[in-house]
Structure 1
Amino acid sequence: MKLFLNTLLLLAITNIYSQNTIHGTVTDANTNEKLEFVNIYFPELEKGTITDENGKFNIENLSPGNYNILFSMMGYKTQSFPITVPSTNEIKIELMPSAIEMESIIVSTPFHKLQSENVMKVEQRSIKDLKANGAVTLADGITNIAGVESVTTGLSIGKPVIRGLSSNRVLVYTQGVRLENQQFGDEHGLGVNDAGIESVEVIKGPASLLYGSDALGGVLYLNPERFANNNISSGDFSGNYYSNTQGYSTNAGYKSSENNFKFLFRGSLAEHADYKTEDYRVTNTRFREQDFKAGLGYQNNVFKTEFRYNVNNSKLGIPEEIGEQSTNKTPLLPYQNITNHVFSSKSTLFFGDSKLDVNLGFIYNDRKEFEEHHHEENEDEEEDEVLEAALHMKLKTANYDVKYNLAKLGKFETIVGVQGMNQVNSNYGEEQLIPDATTNDVGVLAMTHIHFEKADVQLGARFDNRNIDVSNSINKTFNSFNGAFGIKTNLVNNITARVNLATGFRAPNLSELTSDGTHEGTNRYEIGNNDLKSEQNFQTDLALEFKNEHVELFANGFYNKINNYIFISPNGEFIDENPVFIYLQDDANLYGGEFGFHLHPHPLDWLHIESSFEMVTGKQANDVFLPLIPANSLTNIIRLEFEKPWIKSGYAFIKLRTTFKQTNISAFETNTDGYTLLSAGLGGSFTLFKNELSVTVSGSNLTNKTYINHLSRLKPDGIFNMGRNINLGFTYSL
C-alpha cells in the first residue's frame, strides 16, 4: 500500500511540474511562404506568442487538457484549431489570405472565442479603433457600435443604451467583474477610463442567464489589456489633443512577463474645458479625470491567477445653463467628485479535461456632489460651507462568480455555476437621494453547448434571488427563473443564421422603490413606489450573415416584450414648485434591428465601403411611446488601408452619419430634428529611433453643424451638442 501511494504521489508531481510544450510552423496557404509575426493564442489559458522569421513558434509550460488555439494575422483569415496538451506532434498551419478584417477574440461568452463560431451575436470593437474615429471618452466611443447609443449630460457623463434600454437595464463588466457605481442616477456615468482597456464587447438583449439581474437589456463588457507574452517586456506612452475643448489626454504603461510571473501598470490624465458649439461654449461641461490600473499574474501547469486594481478619480462639471464663456478647466458649482476603486481577481484551476473558474470583485464607489448654498451668512462661512458635499454616497459591492467547466462529453460542453453580490449603500451628506440599504443577490446556473454536424445549439437555465433591505423601512425579496436557447447554422454556402430566444429580469432599484424628494438634476419631485414588481422580458433575435472574400451582408432583427416595465411619469401635482413624478408600471414592447453591408472589391482589396442602418421602436401596451429611445440612423464609411516601406497599417476614412428626426416620443418629450455629421481621419505607424510610433488625425462634425441629440439631457434647455473637433494623437512603443 505504501508503495502504491508513493507511486501515485510521484505521478501527481510529475504531472504538475512537467513542461508541456507545443511547437509548429505557420505558412501562407497559396504560396507556402513562412509567415512571421502571426499571433498564436490560447484563450482559455490567456497565453500566446508570435512566429519568428521562419514561421516557427514554441509555447511552454502549458496545462494539460483540450483547448482551442487561435492563429491570426492581418490580411489572413483567423483560424481556430483544436489541440490536446501534451502533444509531441509538430503543428503545421496554413493561413488563407483574406481581405476581411482579422477576427477578434470574444471574451464575454463561455464557449467559442471567435464570433464566426459563436451562437450568440456579440459586437466587438477595439479601443484603438474607437479612438482613431475621434472618440473623446469611452461613453462617446461606444456609440460607434451598431445598436449602441449613450444618454449624455455634456461630454463627461454618458450612460450606455443598448437597443433602447439603459440605466439599470444594462450591466457593465470591467476586469471580469460587474461594475456598480450608482448607475440608477440620471447624471451617473460609467466611471471608467479607456486607458488600459483593450476592447469593448456588447451583448444585445437579455443576458440574465450569464450575468443575473440588471442584464435585462444587455451587457457592455470591457476587456482589460492583456499581459505581455512570456519573457517579453514592453512599454508605451501616448497623448491626444482635442481642439474643441482645448483638452488633452495622456497615458503611459509598462508590462513584463518572465517565467511564471507577469505584471503591468498604466496611468492616465485627461482635462477638458467647456465644449464649444458654433455659437457658444456650454458652461460647466469641463472635467478632469485621473486613472491608474495595475495587474499581477501567476501561472503554472495546473493553475493561473491574476489580480487587477483600478482607481479612477473624476471631477465633473454639471451644466445647467449657458453662462461664463471661458476655457478654464476647473469645474464650477455644481460638480461631482467621484472616486471609484475596482479590485478583481480571476483564477482558474485545471483538472485535465475540466476546469474551475473563480472570479472575485470588490468595488468601492465614493460619490460627492457639490452645489451652491444660499444662506444669509458672511462670505467666509459660505466658502467653508461649499467645501462640504451636499450629497455624499458610498457604495460598497462585493461579488463572486464561480463556474465549473465539466469535461467534454461527446458533443456536449457544459458549465454549472453560482454567482452572487453583497452591496451596501450609505449616505453621509445633508441631502439624500436614496436611503441606506443592503442588497444581496445569489444565482445558480447551468449552460450546455451541443456541437452537431451542421449546427451548434446552446441552452441553459438559471434561478436568482435578490433581497433589498432598506434601513428602518422596507424589506423586499425578488425571485426569477430564466432560460435561453440559441442555434447557429449555415443555411447555404456563405450564409450563417443565428436564432436566440431568451428571458431576462430586473428587480426595481432603490430609486424606483424609495425616492421621496426633489431631484436637483432634473428639477422634479420624485416619489418611489414600493409595490413595484420585477421587470420580466422575453426577446427573440434573428441574425443573418452573408460573407465571401469581398462582400459581407448582415441583418439583425429583434422583438423584445417586457412585462411590468417601470417608468416615471408626472401626476399633475407640484411640491416646492417642482412637478411631481411617480413611478408606474405597464407592459412594453421594443423592436427593430441593425442592417448593413461591407464591400472590399477585388482587386481593390485596400478599399472598404461600409454602410449600416439601425432602428428601434419602444411602446407601452397602450401604444404610448417609451422615453429615451434613440432615433433611427444611417452610417456610411469609405476607408482605405495601405502599406508602404515607410508606413505600416496605414488608413484613411470618411464617415457620414445621418440621424433621422425622432417623432416617436413619450408624453413629456418633444420632437428632435434630424441631422447629418461628417467625420474623417487618417493614421499609421512609423519607425522612429528603432521603435514604433503610431500617429492619428481625425475630425468630427467637420461642418460645425448645430444639432441636438434626442438622448442629450441638455435638450430641454435647447443646448446644442459639440461642434467641430480635431483630434491629434500619437502612441510611442518602447
Structure 2
Amino acid sequence: MKKFIIALFLGFSAMLQAQNTLSGIVTDIKNQPLKGISVYASELHKGTTTDENGKYSFINLPNGNLKLTFTFVGFGTQNKTITALLKQNILDVILEETIFQMDEVIVSTAFNKIQSQNVMKVEHQTMKELQRKGTATLIEGLATIPGVSQVSTGTSIGKPVIRGLSGNRVLVYSQGVRMENQQFGDEHGLGLNDSGIESVEVIKGPASLLYGSDALGGVLYFNPEKFADANTFKANFSQKLFSNTLGSNSSLGLKTSTDYWKFLARGSYNTHSDYRIANGDRVTNTRYNETDFKTGIGYSNAKFSSVLRYNYNKLDLGIPGDGPEASGAEQATSKQTGFPRQGVFNHLLSLNNVFFFQKSKLDVDLGYVANDRSEFEDSDVAILHMKLKTFNYDAKYHLPTIGKVESIFGIQGMHQTNTNSGEEYLIPDATTNDFGVFGTANYEWKTNVFQAGLRFDNRQITTIEHGIAGSEGYFKAIDKSFDSFNASLGYKTNLADDLTLRLNIASGFRAPNLAELTSNGVHEGTNRYEVGNSDLKTEQNVQTDVNLEYKNSHFEFFVNGFYNHINNYIYTSPTGVVLDNNEVFDYIQDNAKLYGGEIGLHFHPHPLDWLHYETSFETVTGKKQSRGVGSDFLPLIPANNWNNTIRTEFNIKNWLEDGFATMNLSTTFNQNNVSGFETKSNGYSLLNLGFGGKVKLGKMIFDVNLNGNNVLDKRYIAHLSRLKTDGIPNIGRNVVLGVNFNL
C-alpha cells in the first residue's frame, strides 16, 4: 500500500509538471509594477492577483487558446488572447490609467469580447454599483439603467421592462440558464436575489439568435459571483437596513479555491414591513420575506472546466388589497404576511462545462428550474397552486479560427411541464418542447468588426383539457407547433480614435404563451375576464439599432436609437360583454412599432479630478396598428425620464478610502401616450442622496453606504405601478444603511 501511495503521488506530481503554465508582470506606462491587479480566466473560473512586484502566475492551463482579463480600478481593462499555449508561457502587460469605468468582458454575447470590441452595445452594471444607489430590491436597481423600467406591485414585486416590452418578451438568464417562472404574469417577480450575483448585462433588443423564443424584446443576463482566487479563503458578511419598511437584508458568504477545485456558498434573508407612502400611511399587506441560498463547486484541468451551481429562493409575499383602503387602513409594522398572499419556491440547478481541444472548444450548459407558486385567499389552503418544471440544454461549438474569422455552431432546447393542484386554474396542465439550431461568425480587422448569424427554432405546446365546456375555467386541449427563422447583422467601427459607431439589425420571435392561447376566466391581476385564442400566430419582429460613443480622458458621450417593428403583436381588447361584473377581454393580434432611445454624457473636468457629472435621457413610444381604426398606443410604455447625477470622490486621512458622495435628481415626465385601457400619469421628480466608502478602524476594514431615496418625501404614482388603478402612491422617503465586511 505504501509503495502504491508513493507511486500515485509521483505520478500525480509528474502530471502537474506536464501541464501548461503562464506567468508575467503587470506594470504601468512608467514601467512601475502594479500590485493587486485582477487577472481572470473566465472560461476556467480561475483568477489571481499580482503581488507587490506586479507578478502573477497560473498552472494547469488547457491547450489551445486562452483568454485573460486584466482589471483594476483606475486603469483600462485589457483582454488578452494567447494562441496555442506552450508548456511555459510569459505574458507581460502594461495598463494605462483611465478616468471612466472599466471596459468589462461581455458574457451574454456570442464571442465574449470586451465592450469596446463588441458589435452590440450591451449595458453592464455590477451589483456593487447598483447597491450604492440604495435600492431595496434587485429590479429597482435594474430600473436605474437607461432603457430599463419595471412593472411593480408595491416594493415586493417587479417585472423588467426593456424599451417598452415586458413579460414573456424579456428573457432572464441566471447561472447560464434561462429562468422560467410563469413570467407571463405580473403577480410575482424575478425570483432572484442580488446576493451572490456579480453583475448584470442588459441586451436592449432582439436576442433570439442566441437565446431563442422570448428574447424578442431583450435579455437580462445575471453573472454569478466569482470563485475565490487560487489557494485563498474568503468570508464576507453584509447587512442593509431600510427605514421606510423597517426592513433588513442580511447575507453571509464563504468561498475557497485550490488550483483545481473551487467552492462557494452564500445565504441571505430579506424581510420588510408594509411600505409607507409620503403622507405617513402604510400600504396594507405589501410586506414580504425572502430566503435565498446559493452554492457552487467547480473543477478545472488542462482538458475541461466544469461548474455546478444551485440556487434556492423562497418568497412569502403579501398581496395588497383592492381599492383605496389598502392605504391608510390597518396600520401595522408586522412582517408576517396577511391574506391574500403568495408563496413562491424556486430551485435553479445549473451545470456549465467547457471542453478544450487543440484549436477549438465546446461549451455545454445544462439547467433545471423548478418553480412552485401558490396563492392563498383567506386560509392556508392554496386556492391556486402551479408547478413549472423546466429542463434546458445549450451546446455551442467554437470552430477553429480561420484567419480573423471566429465562428460558432450551436443547438438549444427546453422541455417544460406545468401542472396544477389547486382549486383554481390560471393556465392548464401543459407540456412545452423547444428546439433550435444556429450559427454565427465574427470577423475583426483593425478597429472594425463584422458579425452575422442565422437561426431556426421550433416550439411545440400541448395542453390537457380541463373543466366543463362553456363554463368559466374550461380549457380545451390544444396541440400547436410554431416555427421561426431569425437572423442578425452587426457592424462596429472607430470613426476616429475616440469615436465608435455600431449598427445592428436583428429579428426576433416569441411564440404565444399558455395564458394567451388558453385563458378562460377572471385574471385577478387585471380584474377582467380574459378569453384566450388558440389561433394566435408567432410574434415576429425586426429591430434596427444605432449606437454612437465618444470617449476621452475627461468626457464621455453616447446616443442610442432604435426602431422596432413587430408583426402579430398580441394584446387584449374589450368585447363589450360583462360577466360577473368583469369586462370580457379577448386576445387579438395586430402589427406594432416601438421607437426611441437613450442619450447621455459623463463629464470629468480637469483639474477637478474629484468631480463627476452624469446625465442621461431615455424615451420610447409604442403604437399598434389596429385594423380599421387607425393607430393606437401600446399599454405599459414607460414615461420619458431624465436622470442627473453629481458625484464626488475623496479620501479622508487614514480612515476612509474610495469615498464618494452623490446627489441624483430623477425626473419622470407626464405619460399622455396611453392605450385605451390606461389612464394618463403625471410627472414627478425625486431627489436621492448617497455617501460611502471603505472605512479603516485599526485592523477593521469594511465598506459602508448611506443612501436617502426620495429624500423630499414626494407623493407620486409611477405609470407602470399595478397599484395605480387604486390610486395608491409609490414608496415615500427611504433611508438605507449598508455595511459589508470581508472577514
Given the alignment, which residue of 545, 548, 572 partners 1:544? 548
Given the alignment, which residue of 358, 364, 378 partners 2:370? 364
Equivalent-residue separation in structure 2 for 1:425 and 1:616 (angstroms): 35
* Shift of residue 15, structure 1, vs aligned partner: 8.9
Determine the structure 2 residue equivalent to 1:227: 227
Q: Which moved more, 1:623-632 or 1:47-56?
A: 47-56
Determine the structure 1 residue equivalent to 2:405: 412
- Confirm or deny that 1:611 pairs with 2:615: yes
Given the alignment, which residue of 339, 349, 356 partners 1:350? 356
Which amino acid counterpart does residue 677 of structure 1 have in structure 2?
Answer: L
Equivalent-residue separation in structure 2 for 1:191 and 1:82 (angstroms): 36
Given the alignment, which residue of 630, 651, 654 partners 2:660? 651
- The 3 A distance-change label for structure 1 pair 89 and 367 is closer
- The 3 A distance-change label for structure 1 pair 688 and 301 is farther
Unaligned stretches of 5+ in structure 1? Answer: 1-12, 373-385
Q: Give the secondary structure class of the aligned counterpart of 1:512.
A: helix
- Confirm or deny that 1:78 pairs with 2:49: no
Equivalent-residue separation in structure 1 for 2:154 and 2:607 (angstroms): 45
- Confirm or deny that 1:455 pairs with 2:454: no
Determine the structure 1 residue equivalent to 2:194: 194
* Shift of residue 648, structure 1, vs aligned partner: 2.2
Tell me if the contact between 2:392 and 2:413 (Cα under 8 Å) persists in the aligned partners: yes
- Confirm or deny that 1:684 pairs with 2:693: yes
Determine the structure 2 residue equivalent to 1:716: 725
Tell me if the contact between 2:16 and 2:60 (Cα under 8 Å) persists in the aligned partners: no
Tell me if the contact between 1:173 and 1:179 (Cα under 8 Å) persists in the aligned partners: yes
Equivalent-residue separation in structure 1 for 2:51 and 2:416 (angstroms): 49
Equivalent-residue separation in structure 1 for 2:255 and 2:624 (angstroms): 51
Determine the structure 1 residue equivalent to 2:344: 338
Given the alignment, which residue of 729, 737, 740 partners 1:731? 740
Tell me if the contact between 1:423 and 1:438 (Cα under 8 Å) persists in the aligned partners: yes
Q: Give the secondary structure class of the aligned counterpart of 1:77.
A: strand
| Cα shift readout 1:60-99 (whole Å, capped 9, x = no counterpart) | 1111222332211111111222323226453222211111
Determine the structure 2 residue equivalent to 1:518: 522
Equivalent-residue separation in structure 2 for 1:579 and 1:82 (angstroms): 61
Equivalent-residue separation in structure 2 for 1:147 and 1:326 (angstroms): 36
Determine the structure 2 residue equivalent to 1:381: none
Q: Give the secondary structure class of the aligned counterpart of 1:60.
A: strand
Equivalent-residue separation in structure 2 for 1:17 and 1:479 (angstroms): 52
Tell me if the contact between 1:503 and 1:538 (Cα under 8 Å) persists in the aligned partners: yes
1:218-617 equivalences in 2 (<5 Å): 218-279=218-279, 280-320=281-321, 321-322=326-327, 323-372=329-378, 386-472=379-465, 473-617=477-621
* Shift of residue 236, structure 1, vs aligned partner: 0.6
Given the alignment, which residue of 707, 714, 720 partners 1:705? 714
Equivalent-residue separation in structure 2 for 1:275 and 1:654 (angstroms): 24
Tell me if the contact between 1:273 and 1:286 (Cα under 8 Å) persists in the aligned partners: yes
Tell me if the contact between 1:234 and 1:256 (Cα under 8 Å) persists in the aligned partners: yes
Equivalent-residue separation in structure 2 for 1:229 and 1:581 (angstroms): 56
* Shift of residue 649, structure 1, vs aligned partner: 1.7
Tell me if the contact between 1:254 and 1:266 (Cα under 8 Å) persists in the aligned partners: yes
- Confirm or deny that 1:636 pairs with 2:644: yes
Determine the structure 1 residue equivalent to 2:8: none
* Shift of residue 43, structure 1, vs aligned partner: 2.6
Tell me if the contact between 2:548 and 2:558 (Cα under 8 Å) persists in the aligned partners: yes
Tell me if the contact between 2:306 and 2:353 (Cα under 8 Å) persists in the aligned partners: yes
- Confirm or deny that 1:64 pairs with 2:63: yes
Determine the structure 1 residue equivalent to 2:130: 130
Q: Which moved more, 1:519-528 or 1:698-707?
A: 519-528
Which amino acid counterpart does residue 345 of structure 1 have in structure 2?
Answer: L
Which amino acid counterpart does residue 123 of structure 1 have in structure 2?
Answer: E
Tell me if the contact between 2:43 and 2:354 (Cα under 8 Å) persists in the aligned partners: no
* Shift of residue 40, structure 1, vs aligned partner: 1.1
Which amino acid counterpart does residue 73 of structure 1 have in structure 2?
Answer: F
Tell me if the contact between 1:609 and 1:638 (Cα under 8 Å) persists in the aligned partners: yes
* Shift of residue 646, structure 1, vs aligned partner: 2.4
* Shift of residue 687, structure 1, vs aligned partner: 3.1
- The 3 A distance-change label for structure 1 pair 167 and 16 is farther
* Shift of residue 32, structure 1, vs aligned partner: 2.2
Q: TM-score, normalized by length of structure 2?
A: 0.94
Tell me if the contact between 2:613 and 2:646 (Cα under 8 Å) persists in the aligned partners: yes
Determine the structure 2 residue equivalent to 1:32: 31
Tell me if the contact between 1:596 and 1:612 (Cα under 8 Å) persists in the aligned partners: yes
Q: How many residues are paired up?
A: 708
Q: Give the secondary structure class of the aligned counterpart of 1:21.
A: strand
Q: Which moved more, 1:568-577 or 1:548-557?
A: 568-577
* Shift of residue 27, structure 1, vs aligned partner: 1.2
Which amino acid counterpart does residue 625 of structure 1 have in structure 2?
Answer: F
* Shift of residue 613, structure 1, vs aligned partner: 0.2
Equivalent-residue separation in structure 1 for 2:733 and 2:355 (angstroms): 52
Tell me if the contact between 1:16 and 1:302 (Cα under 8 Å) persists in the aligned partners: no
Equivalent-residue separation in structure 1 for 2:650 and 2:116 (angstroms): 26
Determine the structure 2 residue equivalent to 1:181: 181
Q: TM-score, normalized by length of structure 1?
A: 0.95
Q: Which moved more, 1:525-534 or 1:318-327?
A: 318-327
Equivalent-residue separation in structure 2 for 1:40 and 1:263 (angstroms): 19
Tell me if the contact between 1:43 and 1:113 (Cα under 8 Å) persists in the aligned partners: no
Determine the structure 2 residue equivalent to 1:10: none
Determine the structure 1 residue equivalent to 2:680: 671
- Confirm or deny that 1:164 pairs with 2:170: no
Equivalent-residue separation in structure 1 for 2:699 and 2:113 (angstroms): 34
- The 3 A distance-change label for structure 1 pair 355 and 606 is same
- The 3 A distance-change label for structure 1 pair 485 and 87 is farther
Equivalent-residue separation in structure 1 for 2:698 and 2:296 (angstroms): 29
Which amino acid counterpart does residue 284 of structure 1 have in structure 2?
Answer: N
| Cα shift readout 1:248-267 (whole Å, capped 9, x = no counterpart) | 10010000001311100000
Q: Which moved more, 1:697-706 or 1:111-120?
A: 111-120
| Cα RMSD, aligned residues only | 1.4
- The 3 A distance-change label for structure 1 pair 224 and 454 is closer
* Shift of residue 33, structure 1, vs aligned partner: 1.6
